Structure 1
Amino acid sequence: MSRHEEKKKSIVFIIFGILLSIVLVAFTGALIYQIYKLQVLPDKILIPGILAIILFGLILLLVLNFCTHGIVSKIIYSFLVIAICVVYGFGNFYLYSTSKTLTTVTTQSNKAKNTVSVIAMNSSSMEDVKSLEGAKLGVLTNIGKESTEKSLKDIKKNKVTYTKSDYDNVPSLIKALYDGEVDAVVLNEAYRSNVCDIEEYANFNNETKVIHKTVYYTKENSSPLAVSDITAKPFNILISGNDSFGSLDENSRSDVDMLVTINPVTSTILLTSIPRDSYVTEVCDDYACNYGVTDKLTHTGMYGVDTTKDTIENLLDIEINYVYRVNFTSMINIVDALGGVDVTVPEGMAVSKFYTNSNLEGVHEGENHLDGKRALAYSRERKAYLDGDVQRARNQQQVLQAMFKKATSPEIIKNYVNLLNALIGAFDTNMTTDEITSFIKYQIQAKPNWKFEQFVLKGDNDLRVSPELGSEVSVVILYDSYISVAHDKIQAVLDGKSSDTIEAQEDTPAGTLSEEEIEAQIQYGLMTEAPIEEEGSDIYYGG
């Protein structure tokens, strides 16, 4: 090779080295910025880590530009720098995605979506709002007045005339539709699950169709009662699980009501579950619910998570600092993103099939690995158990602990991207991004050995009138003694003690029911449950 050619190649490598150095500096700077911006690393890791990245970058730049003389060495170091840039690029992507996810889940719209449908039988020839001309519409008069008025006003905008028949409660309204007394009914979608819980209308979703929808939004004000330092002060979180698929902004029944009391100083987490059918006094701000009436706790979710929070605060005489809201889709996606969870089923508690989703395999005694759908079914199952709602709450606590364990294990690294994707839209919270990152930083630095404690409120099953439905429903009349114990256990953890210092009756699983016993309870009316149904899989929208 001539000296001219060598000089020409040398110039090419110099230019390439300069360009590669610029790319390395840019990627290094972006990585340091993302690491600092996320604020999840303790200072004793963050500062040395950033210095190490800078030092490593400087060494690479010096070697690439001043210490490589032969062509082979230049090529080797060039590939090394390119590889480092690729690694830094992936690091930037993961950190940016994490930051974006945290921002998404902590940014609340402060408004709740309400959907009101005009529903007809599948056999009806009506397909859209225009086909309501001259139809007889069934509407509710004593409940859901605002949603009914919104829907009727929307129909009138389409210059459609109709006659109206009034009904006092949901069962009588749906019966009128099935009996042909009316051509269609106006129903807030928040009541759909209630309809499906009625045995004779269990197939309501398959037998009817939506021919018109009205969507409107109501204000929510889930302002947190923030603690001064989330890593040093105890606090209460309400996990409210809606019994719906799809977006979180839709008001629907609260299927899960669990209080999580966390004391970071003592590394104690207390899970307190309240049966969703608990017959409680509704409380809300600005009388934005059936204020002061006694109804099922699950119905408070139809007025938004604020009403559920206020009602539980009133019931247990406590303050709730933060709220996390999830739904069916959330749980399925998160558990699947974690690679499934493992739960241990005690002796005598095996379930051959889930009555909330009979298409899925049940659980056997001992360790079970559950994917998202089975974890959801296990968390919702109650028909198979002697103590129904109480065992369902135990299962929910068990699944939550399994998810926490999996999410804080080293194994999460291989599922990190899937988990980030699952978390976007999976839940929302009024906890700030800074508070979440501070808690993650605390977890990394302190590596606390969390101790989980559990408590489930209990009561007697009974039939009582639900003002929300206008008819008798199966409810749980909570024991006063359990309400007091729940308050005292929560306060004990907040005060730095173990909840076990508060004496309570031993909480042991009561066992399972046979299929014959389950059918007998359903016939008696003390057990109803809408099966789990995929979003949109069985709701037909005409037109």
Structure 2
Amino acid sequence: MKNILKIVLSILTIILSIVCIVTIKGLNMLPNKYFIIFISVIIIFNLISLLLYTKKKWLNIIGLVISIITIIISLIGYYYGNETIDYLRHAFNNDSVEISEYGVYVLKDSNYDLSSIKNFGYLNEENSDETLKELKKRVNASENAYDDMYSLAHDFLDNKVNSMLLDKTYYNMLVDEKEIDESKVNIIYSFNVEIKKNVKKDNLVDELKPFNIFLSGSDARSNYIASKTRSDVNMIISVDPKNKKVLLTSIPRDYYVSVYGKTGLKDKLTHAGIYGIDTSVKTVENLFDIKIDYYIKVGFSSVVEVVDLLGGIDIESDKAFTTYCGDGGAIKTNVKKGMNHFSGGEALSYARERHAYALGDRHRILNQQQVLEAVISKITTDKSILLKYDKTLSSLSKLYKTNIPSSLISLMVKNQLEDMSAYKIERQSVSGSDASMNTYTAPSKKRYVMIPYEKDVKRASENIKKYA
């Protein structure tokens, strides 16, 4: 009976060891020298336990203990390896579905509801058929198509249409630009439209080369990453993995640029986001004459969750002030001059602050760089994060959309384990002159914009090309 137990335990130990080794190998994250050491330890433990089972009783006990230790190591390795594989599968190249949030709006004094509206106006754009199909499940009314949201809004306010079907991103733009008084409008129905994207297969990256990532920070306050949102944070992250260098290039949201695929008037860079992340990427590529390899799109809620998950971040402020923003997850904060420890909500409020600075948005982008740099530093240097490894991965995967392939991340981790020295992070930003211009999204009314300084753009472009 004892011999049968030894055989069963030995077979179980060997099987779990093999499963663990195959899982770790599949990650392609451990450098070869560490992987060889890991395999050697597992094999030696298995051999020792097998040899000791054939010896005296007290040696049998030692063999049993070694077998149990081997099983525990194998189970831990398999668990964390499997968690990582699952994270990589869901968290990278994960932008396969476009989500747009729509609302049906009526004037408050009209008393209309879904059953009583006779007609509605909608914006004629890509995927309008899907949107109309969804709404017509609920209403029986005629529709009027409009080519721009301003004409639609004006007819809605003049009672030429009973109601307005509009993407919430566009509605928020109309409110912010005071085209619509939100206090006079009711939303009577909300729904999401999901459209599958043609996403390229996760290409295998087998060599680490310099690359550029476009980081888009959505202004949407929803708890998911919507497809069409203004981009309040616009940053190019240039990475040189071999020389362990990162360059952060921030671009003002109001930069007056030619939006890719849109002819005629230029527009604010932030508005490129309402046409999709691909439009923002192409617009930035053309502006700086560079190649953007990948993109990451995050929402405001992502900042809060990531920073809280890390236990807060430390940021040095050049002045004392009270932050202005206290909505969308942000927390109004008394910032002191010098070093501050921020929670997620406090970090978000700091990153969105512009009222406290004479330079306004020009200084805000420096705050955004500080927050991103602090997050990167915490992730790469804080050993306590390893203790909540599985929770960290599970939470991070839901906070962004990206086309970065998982194989690139595996190589980046392997490269970091080979050389644990910290990345050197440098920052730059571009500026311009204040102006009031007509824009592509609002052709009939002048808006505040920032005309790019050509010398700034040229300098930034040259620096980016030194990295990637």
TM-score range relative to shorter protein: 0.7 to 0.9
Gaps of 5+ in 1: 1-10, 285-289, 495-543
Structure 1 residue 355 corresponds to structure 2 residue 325: yes
- Code of the residue aligned with 2:195 in structure 1: it is Y
Cα distance per residue 1:262-316 (max 9 Å; x no partner): 22343321110101111110114xxxxx345411111111222111110001111
Structure 1 residue 190 corresponds to structure 2 residue 169: yes
- In structure 1, what is the equivalent of residue 233 of structure 2? 256
Secondary structure, aligned partner of 1:16: helix
- Rate the CA distance shift 1:448–1:209 in 2: closer, same or farther, 3 A: same
- Code of the residue aligned with 2:353 in structure 1: it is E
1:465 to 434, 438, 442: 438
Structure 1 residue 368 corresponds to structure 2 residue 345: no
Contact kept, 8 Å, 2:204 with 2:407, in 1: the verdict is no
1:98 to 75, 84, 87: 84
Structure index of larger Rg:
1
State the shift of 1:176 in Å: 6.1
- In structure 2, what is the equivalent of residue 508 of structure 1? none
- In structure 1, what is the equivalent of residue 270 of structure 2? 298
- Code of the residue aligned with 1:246 in structure 2: it is N
Secondary structure, aligned partner of 1:137: strand
- In structure 1, what is the equivalent of residue 418 of structure 2? 445
- Rate the CA distance shift 1:222–1:375 in 2: closer, same or farther, 3 A: farther
- Rate the CA distance shift 1:62–1:15 in 2: closer, same or farther, 3 A: same
Contact kept, 8 Å, 2:206 with 2:411, in 1: the verdict is no
Structure 1 residue 107 corresponds to structure 2 residue 124: no
Q: Distance in 2 between matches of 1:126 and 1:184?
A: 8
Contact kept, 8 Å, 1:120 with 1:211, in 2: the verdict is no
Cα distance per residue 1:302-331 (max 9 Å; x no partner): 222111110001111111122222222332
- TM (norm. structure 1) is 0.76
Structure 1 residue 19 corresponds to structure 2 residue 8: yes
Q: Distance in 2 between matches of 1:416 and 1:201?
A: 47
1:89 to 50, 72, 75: 75
The aligned runs of 1:326-405 (5 Å cut-off) are 326-346=298-318, 348=319, 350-357=320-327, 359-405=331-377
Contact kept, 8 Å, 1:462 with 1:477, in 2: the verdict is yes
Structure 1 residue 406 corresponds to structure 2 residue 378: yes
- In structure 2, what is the equivalent of residue 50 of structure 1? 39
1:209 to 163, 187, 193: 187
State the shift of 1:460 in Å: 2.2
Secondary structure, aligned partner of 1:354: coil
Contact kept, 8 Å, 2:93 with 2:404, in 1: the verdict is no
The aligned runs of 1:118-517 (5 Å cut-off) are 118-121=104-107, 125-128=111-114, 130-132=115-117, 134=118, 136-140=119-123, 145-146=125-126, 150-152=130-132, 154-156=134-136, 160-162=140-142, 164=144, 169-170=149-150, 173-174=152-153, 182-198=161-177, 208-213=186-191, 215-217=193-195, 219=197, 229-230=207-208, 233-244=209-220, 245-248=222-225, 250-284=227-261, 290-291=262-263, 293-346=265-318, 348=319, 350-357=320-327, 359-409=331-381, 410-470=383-443, 471-494=445-468
Q: Distance in 1 between matches of 2:156 and 2:56?
A: 84
Cα distance per residue 1:43-73 (max 9 Å; x no partner): 111112211122123323433x334516xx8
CA RMSD in angstroms comes to 3.2
- Code of the residue aligned with 2:359 in structure 1: it is D
Contact kept, 8 Å, 1:34 with 1:95, in 2: the verdict is yes
Contact kept, 8 Å, 1:221 with 1:306, in 2: the verdict is no
State the shift of 1:234 in Å: 2.1
- Code of the residue aligned with 1:160 in structure 2: it is N
Contact kept, 8 Å, 1:356 with 1:381, in 2: the verdict is no
- Code of the residue aligned with 1:438 in structure 2: it is L
Contact kept, 8 Å, 2:235 with 2:251, in 1: the verdict is yes
State the shift of 1:81 in Å: 4.1
Deviates more, 1:415-424 or 1:21-30: 21-30
Q: Distance in 2 between matches of 1:292 and 1:282?
A: 9
Q: Distance in 2 between matches of 1:452 and 1:234?
A: 14
How many percent of aligned residue pairs carry the same amino acid?
Answer: 31
Secondary structure, aligned partner of 1:248: coil
Contact kept, 8 Å, 2:95 with 2:402, in 1: the verdict is no
- In structure 2, what is the equivalent of residue 529 of structure 1? none
Contact kept, 8 Å, 2:265 with 2:439, in 1: the verdict is no
Q: Distance in 2 between matches of 1:340 and 1:117?
A: 36
- In structure 2, what is the equivalent of residue 30 of structure 1? 19
Cα distance per residue 1:457-507 (max 9 Å; x no partner): 11123332232244433222221121111112212334xxxxxxxxxxxxx
Aligned length: 463
- In structure 2, what is the equivalent of residue 525 of structure 1? none
- TM (norm. structure 2) is 0.87
State the shift of 1:216 in Å: 4.9
Contact kept, 8 Å, 1:248 with 1:428, in 2: the verdict is yes
